[in-house]
Amino acid sequence: MCRLVVQAFLVGIFLVFAASEALAQTPAPLPMTEVAEGVFVFAAPHELAAPANIDAIGNAGFVIGGEAVAVIDTGGSKQAGLALLAAIRARTDKPIRYVIDTHVHPDHLLGNAAFRLPGAVIVGHANLPEALAARADTYLSATRRLIGEGAFAGTEAVAPTLLVKDRLELDLGGRRLLLEAWPTAHTNTDLTVMDEETRTWFLGDLLFAGHVPALDGSLNGWLAVIGTLRSRQAARVVPGHGPAAMAWPGAADAMVRYLERLRDDLRSMIAQGRPLQEAVKEAAQSERGNWQLFDDFNVRNATSAYRELEWE
Ligand SMILES: [Zn+2]
């Protein structure tokens, strides 16, 4: 009797572990919005990385072509990548041919670990392998600390092998994607992806909406690149943080206003000889009410921008 109880208990324990293991390996599919025919986007919450969100805090998407699928950004952990993969497999069994990283930030590419699949090529900006190599240890340890061991399991930094220096066209079978590498702006690894069939343009973190922009490249560079992007036409754009799709070029207005405010405030304080420590507390504070996560990023943005602008 007693032995039976113990056995039942052990079986129960096993089942709980088996279930949690299965859960860990196949997370629920990310909720996707079909923004145009065959173009799906996960609009991520505006949050910092945490166990509950498994670092699925950057927008991610995929495009289904005649023969194959392209993934655009993979989330910030292997679990996030697997949740995106589950969303793809709920819609098509076509092979994944390309996994495109829009830039180096961990919330956009640490999910690459879930896409080490036969025939799938990881694609990124020509600067990306070097930038990722320099930061991988920091990104991995920070992500592990923020989301916890369970959600972090299996996450690793997987660099692209197909690199874009300028432009590259990819074919999904009767459906082409145009990839373009940009000079230093949000980062020094920014890549955009245009689905030529629907004119849906994935801008990565060159476009923020709602979530305050995060500057990790060049403020002047970003404003220059966004000026070029705004002169182009698209049926819709997909921001790196924000809604699944937005109208172009109006989608950039709020972000440009924030970046220009930051630049103009800092320029005038630098001209007055105000030290960095003071300036970064005041710069762009008039924008505070317009953005989520403002206090998490604005001082860092201002610090980076001050160092750039003081050399003008
Ligand atoms: Zn980013």
Annotated domain spans of the chain: 28-251
Write down the H helix ranges in 62-123: 78-89, 106-109
Question: For residue 21, is pLDDT > 60?
Answer: no
Interval between CA 81 and ligand 1 midpoint (Å)? 17
Task: Give the pLDDT of residue 165.
Answer: 98
At 147, the pLDDT band (50, 70, 90 cuts) reads very high
Interval 7-26 mean pLDDT? 48
- pLDDT of 15: 42
| CA 205 / ligand 1 centre spacing (Å) | 5
The overall average pLDDT reported for the chain is 94
Q: How far is the CA of 200 from the centre of ligand 1 (A)?
A: 20
Distance CA 263, CA 280 (A): 11
CATH code linked to domain 28-251:
3.60.15.10
Task: Pull the structure tokens for residue 210.
Answer: 């709602």
Q: Quick check: 14 pLDDT over 90? A: no
What percentage of the chain carries pLDDT values higher than 90?
A: 91
pLDDT at 1 over 60: no
- How far is the C-alpha of 150 from the C-alpha of 235, rounded, in Å? 40
Q: What's residue 102's pLDDT?
A: 98
pLDDT band, very low/low/confident/very high, at 17 (cuts 50, 70, 90): very low
The pLDDT confidence band at residue 20, using thresholds 50, 70 and 90, is: very low
Under the banding of pLDDT at 50, 70 and 90, the label for residue 26 is: confident
Tokens standing for 83? Answer: 């949740």
**Span from the CA of 222 to the centroid of ligand 1 (angstroms):** 12
CA 112 – CA 118 distance, rounded (Å): 13
CA of 247 to the centre of ligand 1 (A): 21
**Distance (Å, rounded) from C-alpha 49 to C-alpha 261?**
27
CA distances 137 to 56, 80, 118, 133, Å, are 19, 19, 26, 8
15 φ/ψ angles, rounded to the nearest 5 degrees: -65, -40
DSSP annotation of 181: E
Q: If pLDDT is split at 50, 70 and 90, which confidence band does 25 have?
A: low
Write b or e for each residue in 224-246: b if 16 or more Cβ atoms lie within 10 A of its Cβ, otherwise e: ebbeebeeeebebbbbbbbbbbb
Alpha-carbon dihedral of residues 93, 87, 74, 43, nearest 10 degrees? 140
Distance 41 CA to ligand 1 centre (A): 17
What sections of 33-92 are H helices per DSSP? 78-89
- For ligand 1, the distance from its centroid to the CA atom of residue 244, given in whole angstroms, is 16
Distance 14 CA to ligand 1 centre (A): 41
Q: Which residues contact 177 (CB under 8 A, 6 or more apart)?
A: 63, 70, 98, 100, 169, 170, 193, 194, 195, 196
Give per-residue pLDDT as tens, 150-195.
999 999 999 999 999 999 999 999 999 999 999 999 999 999 999 9
Cα(212)–Cα(256) distance, integer angstroms: 11
CA of 43 to the centre of ligand 1 (A): 15
Is the distance from CB of 128 to CB of 101 less than 8 angstroms? yes
* Residue 6 pLDDT greater than 90, yes or no: no
Which residues is 71 bridged to in the sheet?
62, 99
Query: Which residue is it, tokens 């699928």?
Result: 69
Ligand 1 centroid, distance to 199 Cα (angstroms): 23
* 17 alpha carbon – ligand 1 mean position (Å): 36
Q: What is the pLDDT of residue 3?
A: 54
Distances (CA, A) of 302 to 46, 47, 260: 20, 20, 12
CA of 102 to the centre of ligand 1 (A): 9
Ligand 1: centre distance to CA 136 (Å): 15
pLDDT score for 7? 52
* pLDDT at 193 (0 to 100): 99
Q: How far is the CA of 106 from the centre of ligand 1 (A)?
A: 8
Q: What tokens appear for 89 in the block?
A: 């497999």
Q: How far is the CA of 186 from the centre of ligand 1 (A)?
A: 7
Alpha carbon of 105 to ligand 1 centroid (Å) = 5
Convert the pLDDT of each residue in 51-62 to its tens digit: 999 999 999 999
